[in-house]
Amino acid sequence: MTKYMPRAVRKTGLILFPAFDWCITPSHPEREERLLYTRDQIVEEGLEDVDGIEFFNPELAEYADIDRVHLCAPSSKALLTESHLISAGGAIRAAKAVMEKEVERAFAIVRPPGHHAMQTVFGDRGFCIANIEAIMVEHLRRHYGVRRIAIVDTDCHHGDGTQDIFYNDPDLLFISLHQDGRTLYPGSGFQNEAGGPAAQGYTINLPLPPGTGEEGFSMVTDRVVLPLLDAFKPELVLNSAGQDNHYSDPLTNMNFTAQGYARLNKAINPDICVLEGGYSIEGALPYTNLGIILAMAGLDTSNVREPDYDPRRFVQSALMNGQIEGICQNALDIFAARKKWDTGVRRGEEVVERKSIYYDTTGFGVDQVRHYKLCPDCPGYTEVEASGAGELMHGFTVPFNACSKCQQAARDAFARAAKAKGPREQVVLQDRVADIYETV
């Protein structure tokens, strides 16, 4: 008897890169085996034979793709391994497959992950060095002329790196659903983190209480994520599809399920998904990934269940529901007020933001000062000074949507800083309009 083979409703591309030769340490949760069970599950379910599901090899990202996004100290070449270039290249390949209409949707199931990597990079933090979504976004803008993009980060950890990179970008709506930062790494992602001075209200954090399950995720999706996507009208919706909200994940405290992930994907309906975390390599990842793939392809997901799945285990208390309702309301208020803040930007103003960034893998801190140089015609350029681990990075970033005056002002400031450069200091001009990365 031949097995019934469904046909994908939406042609969907998969890029699978388990990075077998790369890990932080052999016993580290972000290790080679993470995607082996997923690969087996894909084979077992016969997805390779489904009409309309296509497999693509990742490409190698170029250093220019990395340098368009990050300011790496001492350099991207010194910090990144080939696996990082392939992981970022896998995300880029997914974007290319969608933009060039090889498929309608694509999912980059790659590692190492990226969403904790910030604008300045001095090493590995939260298992991430290169922010693969951000690299994909700026690649899409540079090579395909895409402007407005929404990223919904559904990893259990706050996507602090992605937030940091796009903090002052009103053409990027960043929504992060995560376990409350008071209870989990990286300890950020509160609702008052709502965007830089030119993009207030375009960063939306939804810090959820530990123990949140299907009900809570449906609530924030229906009440916040979908209405915001509707209002923002992005050209593309991306999903940082971390799967560590799963009830079996060893690093987190949530109660989410494979069914939940499949429904979440169906609702958000992302054009491109990029895998982030997920450390329950046998109990969760094979099922959550399968649920997401089937949902993207428009196939039936009702049979995607963990062997020990029992919905009675995941009933939420009225107290928790009330808490989540409050979080939803705050998010809606922040987004609704976004236009008021937009008009507050005046010529010549500068806003200074200081932060300490901790690199947990090697254990050192970086002190950073960022100056937002505001402009009435564009989001303005930024100047950043960051020092740690014996390196001093002094960078000038011109965003892709900058006006020509800001581009010139950044060049002039870079030239002045290069002249005054200290002995351990690296001065960088990162101009995304001209696609230049110049370092002195």
Residues annotated catalytic, as ranges = 116
Q: Using CB under 5 A, which of the segments 84-92, 274-282, 362-370, 384-392 binds Zn ion? A: 274-282
Q: Using CB under 5 A, which of the segments 262-270, 325-333, 350-358, 378-386 binds Zn ion? A: 378-386
Strand partners, 429: 396, 438
Comparison of 162 and 387: residue with beta carbon closer to Zn ion: 162
User: Does 378 interact with Zn ion (rule: CB under 5 A)?
Assistant: yes
User: Does 157 interact with Zn ion (rule: CB under 5 A)?
Assistant: yes
User: Does 51 interact with Zn ion (rule: CB under 5 A)?
Assistant: no
Q: Looking at 277, 286, 291, 388, which residue binds Zn ion (CB under 5 A)?
A: 277
Q: Using CB under 5 A, which of the segments 18-26, 98-106, 277-285, 322-330 binds Zn ion? A: 277-285
User: Does 350 interact with Zn ion (rule: CB under 5 A)?
Assistant: no
If 0-12 CB within 10 Å is exposed, 13-18 middle and 19+ buried, where does residue 93 land?
A: buried
> What is the 3 state secondary structure string of 316-353?
CCHHHHHHHHHHHHHHHHHHHCHHHHHCCCCCCCEEEE
User: Does 377 interact with Zn ion (rule: CB under 5 A)?
Assistant: yes
Minimum CB distance to Zn ion, residue 206 (Å)? 15
Q: Looking at 30, 104, 155, 164, which residue binds Zn ion (CB under 5 A)?
A: 155
DSSP sequence for 232-295: H--SEEEEEE--TTBTT-SS----B-HHHHHHHHHHH--SEEEE-----TTTTHHHHHHHHHHH
User: Are the CB atoms for 273 and 97 separated by under 8 Å?
Assistant: no
Comparison of 273 and 297: residue with beta carbon closer to Zn ion: 273
Q: Looking at 186, 195, 197, 242, which residue binds Zn ion (CB under 5 A)?
A: 242
Minimum CB distance to Zn ion, residue 409 (Å)? 8
259-290 in b/e form (b: 16+ CB < 10 A) is bbbbbbbbbbebbbbbbbbbbbbebbbbbbbb
Minimum CB distance to Zn ion, residue 314 (Å)? 20
Comparison of 199 and 334: residue with beta carbon closer to Zn ion: 199
User: Are the CB atoms for 436 and 429 separated by under 8 Å?
Assistant: yes
- CA 399 to each of CA 168, 389, 410: distance values in angstroms, whole numbers, following the listed order: 9, 27, 10
User: Does 298 interact with Zn ion (rule: CB under 5 A)?
Assistant: no
Comparison of 84 and 223: residue with beta carbon closer to Zn ion: 84
Given the rule CB under 5 A, which residues bind Zn ion? 155-157, 242, 244, 277, 375, 377-378, 403, 406
